[in-house]
Amino acid sequence: MALTFQQILISTYPNEFKQGLFRFTYVDGQIIIDSWNVPNVPQPTYEQVMALDTPQLENAYNIKAFFDIFPQFLQNYIDSVAIARQYDDSFACISYLNSSNANWAADAKAFNSWRDSVWNYVIAQQALIEAGARPIPTDIESLLKELPAMTWPS
């Protein structure tokens, strides 16, 4: 899959894009650079931008795109585990860490440890993906299935 003009520029100059140093607009159904204020970099032509498209850039873009959307899916999953245990969400469950009710405090402690293990696993997998040691998951559900299982106290 070749990247689009816009994807290439955003991938090549991510910080400059976040800072608003360049913008896009549509003219006659085609996207063009509306403004370009990137220090020490002349505004590239369409051809120059398209020449930047490489398999490495596409891979970096795909990794970033996956991990830009994945945290929300992961948070929803974490919340769903707490909800299945009758808590409003993950934050409600964790709020019982210092509860005087031993059962709720035990739930919160176990849940907190599990949540940490889930995030540690995801961060490790992201590092492997970025290093090229594992492919980008084909879908979010496949990565969610790899996560450590939650074991609630009895």
pLDDT one-digit tens code per residue, 34-53 = 999 999 999 999 999 999 99
Amino acid at 65: A
| Domain count for the chain | 2
Please tell me whether residue 39 adopts helix, strand or coil conformation: coil
Statement to judge: residues 46 and 67 lie in one domain: no
pLDDT digits (tens, 9 = 90+) for 82-102: 999 999 999 999 999 999 999
Residue 91 and residue 21 share a domain: no
The yes-or-no verdict on residue 1 having pLDDT over 80 is no
Give the separation between CA 50 and CA 44, rounded to whole angstroms: 10
User: pTM of the entire structure?
Assistant: 0.76
Both 65 and 141 in one domain: the answer is: yes
Q: Which two tokens stand for residue 151?
A: 């074991």
Q: Is residue 152 domain-resident?
A: no
**Strand, coil or helix: 137:** coil
Helix (H) or strand (E) holding 47: helix 46-51
Residue 138: pLDDT band by 50, 70, 90 thresholds? confident
> Please, which residues have CB within 8 angstroms of residue 148's CB and are 6 or more apart in sequence?
114, 117, 118, 121
